[in-house]
Amino acid sequence: MRIGSILENQKIEKRVAITPEIVKKYTSLGLEVCLVENYASHLGIKDNSYKEMGVKFLNDEKEILNSSEIIVQLGMLSEDKTSSIKENQTIIGVLNPYTNKEKLEILAKKKINLFSLELLPRITRAQSMDILSSQANLAGYKAVIESFANFEKAIPMMMTAAGTVPAAKVLVVGAGVAGLQAIATAKRMGAIVFATDVRMASKEQVESLGGKFLTVEGSENLETEGGYAKEASEEFKQKQEDLLSETLKKIDIVICTALIPGKKAPLIIKDSMIQNMQSGSIIYDLAAIQGGNTAFTEADKVIEKNGIKIMGESNILNKLPVSASNLYAKNVFNFVDNLISKESKKININLEDEIIQKTLIK
């Protein structure tokens, strides 16, 4: 069998789905790896690095798509490219079924197997395939680095003969994987860190990293069975708003990470709250691609309001594409390894396997 991958749209996605180190693992499964020429040259990885591992290169993307039993990508392929994919071929990636519903339905009707990895269940066996966690981890780290780079004061407390420089105060909104990494990174760099989340279970994790958890009454009711945050009631939102309004008056940097799968990001930091923040403060909104957690967030723009910079990017992982690609490629391999029968060396769509059943788009 052949597994193939082509370049993503470079304007929006710099990551790749197959790295040289992962090729050996695919060949050990009996797969031939086929890539488009200059597949990862933008990351400083030359074709020779892949060829040494046995990769076959073609310069025709459609030929790769047409001849590969398994196609692995980051995002959804464009319609002109999916037109060359045939019945029983398999596409694996972050297919975003919430926004690509109609396109995916058309492909499913053509009997193309579609696996969207952001739908993986939160079970122990799926941890090595969990692309949301691996990528969010890097996003949380990078959001802190970007914020600190734009903050015009020192981060850690410094005691000098000329006086003391106070430590920066950081608030992390949302204590999922990205939020927890943001807390750990900010703490390591000497900031005083606060965090808030609708899931009360996050309190212990935040405090274990040295952060102070801001408790809102009723938090224990806002976690889904899968471990994700769910939408809050109006009463809870008001309580959260009151707590945040007071807290933000003394905060220097805010990292927003609150997302609800398949829905617009919740509006958490409102206009009135921003007006009460100190001039020179930074808000970095990781939820920008889904509308943002603040009243003014715009993807790929820095908006300035009352001396406060509100930063948001549609894909912060484009700033860490090598590390992000390495982790993503490992996640995808682990998924493919689970998908292929060890006996027949063929794809086995076993719907009794929760991992396969949950990620398959029908």
122 a catalytic residue: yes
**Closest listed residue to residue 237, CA positions, set 228, 227, 249, 245:** 245
| Pairwise CA distance, residues 207 & 212, whole Å | 6
CA 337 to chain centre: 22
Is 127 assigned a catalytic role?
Answer: yes
Question: Catalytic: which of 122, 245, 278, 357?
Answer: 122
- C-beta separation of 167 from 192 below 8 A: yes
Distance from C-alpha of 277 to C-alpha of 273, rounded to nearest angstrom: 7
Distance CA 19, CA 40 (A): 8
Catalytic residue among 228, 245, 278, 323: 228
Q: Is 285 a catalytic residue?
A: no
Q: Which residue in this structure is represented by tokens 């082509």?
A: 6
Select which of 41, 78, 127, 208 is catalytic: 127
Active-site annotation holder among 15, 50, 130, 199? 130
Using alpha carbons, select from 309, 262, 297, 320 the residue that is nearest to residue 139.
320
One of 68, 89, 133, 281 is an active-site residue; which one?
133
Cβ atoms of 232 and 260 within 8 Å: the answer is: no
Q: Is 130 part of the annotated catalytic residue set?
A: yes
Residues 6 or more apart whose CB falls under 8 angstroms from that of 92 comprise 70, 71, 72, 73, 115, 117, 332, 335, 336
- In angstroms, the Cα distances linking 86 to 71, 283, 289 are 11, 46, 32
Here the tokens at position 83 are 């037109």
Q: Is 228 a catalytic residue?
A: yes
Residue 99 near residue 78 (C-beta atoms within 8 A): no
Across the chain, which distance is largest between two alpha carbons, in Å? 73
Q: Quick one: angle between helices 20-28 and 321-339, nearest 10? A: 10
Cβ within 8 Å of residue 149, ≥6 positions away: none
Residues with a catalytic annotation lie at 122, 127, 130, 133, 228
